[in-house]
């Protein structure tokens, strides 16, 4: 959420940001309501001064045993007017807030302008694309032949876009989660969190999923709780309404969770196999940092995610997202796309984002540089480290052999207990 004073003083900049993100918010209406509210506040303050003066006058008259009934009646009229204006201001606050929370974050100046993903810019590549002397199969064929993916079973139990992993497929999931968590904890300095997988409405608001993206979320209406779309939600909200000590920054958390997304607006896209599913596993990295260093922290976050793919020896590329492809809350985002040989295409496997103080303002996460200083909002960042379905796709498709087996990446063998899936 953007600061109201900042919006007031940067109307054209805000409108341009909304346009760049292909979003909609009535900034003019917000300014109109805000102007009306500020006029009322001036009027209320003037009336309160009058009330204080009248109260003092009544006190003096009573001391002198004078008739104060007319003055008391005047004070009642003033008090009634104050109550009336206070109620109008409260309603204006609600209307302003409803518009304010729908204004997206402003893209960082380094973000390329563009309407959609076609304007994303590739900033680096790593690894060599695998060369095979046979026609590589897509992961769903490889996985079903090996008995490690049960696509029909997932659909039978839960419906379309749900997946069963079987045998060594399930073990591969577990191995990847353990490998990623160990890397982020032991080498990158993150604290592991095992959070709830269901959160309240306040948490979803804090990270920016609500109210804009409610239709894409799984909602338990009876309790008004939401299945998490990403560990970013519960982990970021662990520090909601807290004031941190500046000396304790940065704070790094990492968490494994399943993620649940209805993706109401994406039906008909990427319908085969693991490319797009409603439930998937992910290891997430979340940072709370001093605003002065948040863009350095973004580069480090990106490097942490990249190292997972480097150790798995999976070729990838990094894209800077254009303004029109940025999420509602992000100021800047890198996507990491891994190569899938069977599909012969790049697949997004991680997004690393800096939200600046946008989430922190919504969730009220602040810090003090020293005990006597005024609290400031932290900057929050998060990144997938990594999302598992497309990591699994890349392993199954890039490490397949002409015998129909899968070579297990060397770094996973101690977790898997085998060097081949057959």
Catalytic residue numbers read 261, 276, 348, 351, 390
Angstrom CA distances, 282 to 100, 106, 352, 354, 386, stand at 31, 27, 13, 19, 6
Q: Is 189 left (phi over 0), alpha (psi -120 to 50) or beta?
A: left
**Which tokens belong to 408?**
């297990």
CB atoms within 10 A of CB 344: 11
Which residues contact residue 273 at a Cβ distance below 8 angstroms, ignoring those fewer than 6 apart?
138, 139, 140, 143, 149, 151, 393
DSSP string, 248-301: G--EEEEEEEEEE---TT-TTSS-STTSS-SEEEEEEEEEEE-GGGHHHHHHHH
Measuring CA to CA, which residue among 335, 271, 338 is closest to residue 310? 338
Give strand pairing partners of 414: none
Alpha carbon distance 336, 290 (integer Å):
25
Which residues contact residue 309 at a Cβ distance below 8 angstroms, ignoring those fewer than 6 apart?
126, 127, 315, 316, 336, 338, 349, 386
**DSSP type of residue 371:** T
Alpha carbon distance 101, 200 (integer Å):
17
Alpha carbon distance 35, 39 (integer Å):
6
């Amino acid at each position: 959420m953007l600061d109201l004073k900042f919006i007031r003083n940067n109307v054209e900049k805000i409108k341009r940001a909304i346009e760049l993100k292909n979003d909609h918010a009535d900034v003019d209406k917000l300014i109109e309501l805000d102007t009306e509210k500020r006029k009322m506040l001036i009027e209320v303050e003037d009336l309160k001064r009058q009330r204080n003066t009248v109260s003092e006058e009544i006190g003096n008259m009573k001391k002198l045993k004078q008739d104060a009934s007319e003055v008391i009646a005047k004070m009642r009229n003033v008090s009634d007017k104050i109550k009336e204006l206070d109620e109008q201001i409260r309603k204006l606050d609600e209307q302003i807030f409803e518009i304010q929370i729908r204004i997206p974050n402003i893209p960082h100046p380094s973000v390329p302008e563009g309407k959609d993903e076609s304007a994303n810019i590739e900033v680096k590549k790593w690894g060599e694309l695998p060369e095979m002397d046979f026609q590589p199969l897509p992961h769903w064929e490889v996985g079903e032949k090996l008995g490690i993916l049960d696509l029909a079973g997932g659909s039978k139990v839960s419906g379309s876009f749900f997946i069963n992993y079987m045998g060594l497929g399930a073990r591969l999931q577990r191995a990847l989660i353990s490998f990623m968590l160990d890397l982020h904890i032991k080498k990158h300095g993150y604290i592991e969190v095992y959070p709830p997988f269901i959160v309240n409405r306040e948490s979803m608001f804090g990270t920016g999923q609500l109210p804009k993206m409610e239709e894409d979320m799984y909602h338990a209406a009876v309790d008004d709780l939401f299945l998490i779309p990403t560990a970013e939600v519960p982990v970021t909200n662990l520090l909601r309404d807290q004031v941190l000590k500046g000396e304790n920054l940065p704070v790094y958390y990492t968490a494994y969770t399943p993620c649940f997304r209805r993706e109401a607006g994406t039906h008909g896209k990427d319908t085969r196999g693991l490319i797009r599913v409603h439930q998937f596993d992910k290891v997430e990295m979340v940072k709370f940092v001093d605003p002065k260093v948040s863009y350095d922290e973004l580069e480090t976050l990106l490097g942490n995610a990249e190292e997972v793919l480097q150790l798995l020896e999976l070729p990838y590329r990094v894209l800077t997202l254009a303004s029109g492809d940025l999420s509602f809350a992000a100021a800047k985002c890198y996507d990491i796309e891994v190569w899938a040989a069977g599909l012969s295409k790049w697949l997004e496997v991680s997004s690393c984002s800096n939200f600046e103080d946008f989430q922190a303002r919504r969730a009220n996460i602040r810090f003090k540089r020293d005990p006597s200083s005024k609290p400031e909002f932290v900057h929050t960042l998060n990144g997938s480290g990594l999302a598992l379905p497309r990591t699994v796709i890349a392993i199954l498709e890039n490490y397949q052999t002409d015998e129909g087996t899968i070579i297990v990446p060397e770094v996973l063998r101690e977790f898997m207990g085998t060097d081949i899936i057959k």
